Every structure is written in C-alpha cells, then in structure tokens.
C-alpha cells in the first residue's frame, strides 16, 4: 500500500523497509548506532511504529522493550504520526511563571487537541518541552525549528496562520 514518507514522496511501505534494512546493516555494529538508526528510521517513516521498532530490535539483537525504552526516553522520537508542523510549548520555570501554561491552553483550544495529539488535518502536533534556553524572552514556543518569544495567548491564531499559509503568502508576511 502506498504511503507518504516523511520527505513527502509517495512510496511503497516495502521500499521504506528496504531502505531501513540498509541503514540497520550499517549501524548495527557501531557503538552508539541505535540512536542514529532510530533517527533515520523516523525520518523515513515519519514516526516509529511497532513494526519498525521490532525490526530495529532484531537487527541490534536487543529486546523490543529496550529499544522502545530508548524511544520513550527521548522526546524527539514519536511512536505515532506527527503533523506537518511540530509545536513545542516551553513549560520550564521562567516560561511557566510568565504565562506558558496559558499559552499552552490557548494552543489546545485553538487546535482542538491535547498534548501528544495531532490535529485532524495532520497539520500540527502539540508537545511540551522544558527549556529552549530563551528564559529572558519567556514564554516561548517552538514550531518546527522556529522559536517564538514573549508569546501571548492572544497571538496564537496569528502565529498559527503563518504555518497554514502557502509559500507565496509567507513571502508577503
């Protein structure tokens, strides 16, 4: 069955697994090779499904629970499909006391999702983070690789609109 890989191309799932097998062959004997293999697998599939984790665990001769434990420990890994844009709300101390919780609530309301979920249109996923190192500019959110500083709940709709815009509309903003 055709799938859209994380790069946006339509490919057969079988082809993605063949690519994964090449990656696993390269990394399975390297010290510390598990995390890069997981990162590449997530790049190929967009997330780390049970099937992918089982294949990785077999290749590295590790238990499924050990590999799944690594995945659950690191926040940049996801076991479910993420949206086109990943929103992370900082709830570190400075951001929290300067309104980060209200920003998070505004995002949840605007997107109609909770933390760890993806919008129905697959455009946004919402997560919480602990610190982006911009404490003096709190509260902050990160959308993809963009950090938005001194975010107010009333600006959420405007910020999200930028990520819903076409490339031509963004050039005009």
Which tens digit of pLDDT belongs to each residue from 113-132?
999 899 999 899 999 998 88
Tokens 């599939």 correspond to what residue? 45
With a cut of 50, say whether residue 2 has pLDDT above it: no
- Largest Cα–Cα separation, the chain: 52
Residues in Cβ contact with 51 at an 8 Å cutoff, skipping those fewer than 6 apart:
none
Round to whole Å and give the CA distance between 151 and 99. 9
What is residue 172's predicted lDDT score, i.e. its pLDDT? Answer: 52
Supply 18's token pair.
Answer: 């063949």
Give the whole-number percent of the chain exceeding pLDDT 70. 89
**Residue 80 banded pLDDT, cuts 50, 70, 90:** confident
- Asked whether the predicted pLDDT for residue 9 surpasses 90, the reply is no
Radius of gyration of the chain (CA): 18
């Amino acid at each position: 069955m055709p799938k859209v890989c994380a790069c946006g191309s339509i490919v057969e799932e079988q082809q993605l697994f063949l690519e994964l097998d090449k990656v696993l062959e390269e990394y399975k004997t390297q010290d510390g090779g598990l995390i890069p293999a997981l990162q590449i697998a997530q790049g190929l599939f967009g997330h780390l499904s049970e099937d992918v984790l089982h294949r990785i665990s077999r290749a590295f001769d590790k238990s499924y629970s050990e590999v799944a434990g690594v995945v659950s420990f690191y926040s940049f890994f996801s076991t479910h499909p993420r949206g086109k844009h990943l929103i992370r709300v900082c709830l570190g101390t400075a951001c929290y006391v300067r309104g980060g919780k209200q920003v998070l609530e505004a995002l949840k309301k605007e997107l109609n999702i909770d933390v760890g979920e993806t919008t129905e249109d697959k455009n946004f996923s919402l997560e919480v983070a602990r610190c982006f190192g911009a404490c003096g500019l709190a509260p902050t959110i990160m959308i993809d690789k963009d950090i938005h500083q001194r975010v107010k709940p009333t600006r959420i709709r405007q910020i999200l609109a930028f990520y819903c815009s076409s490339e031509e509309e963004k050039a005009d903003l």
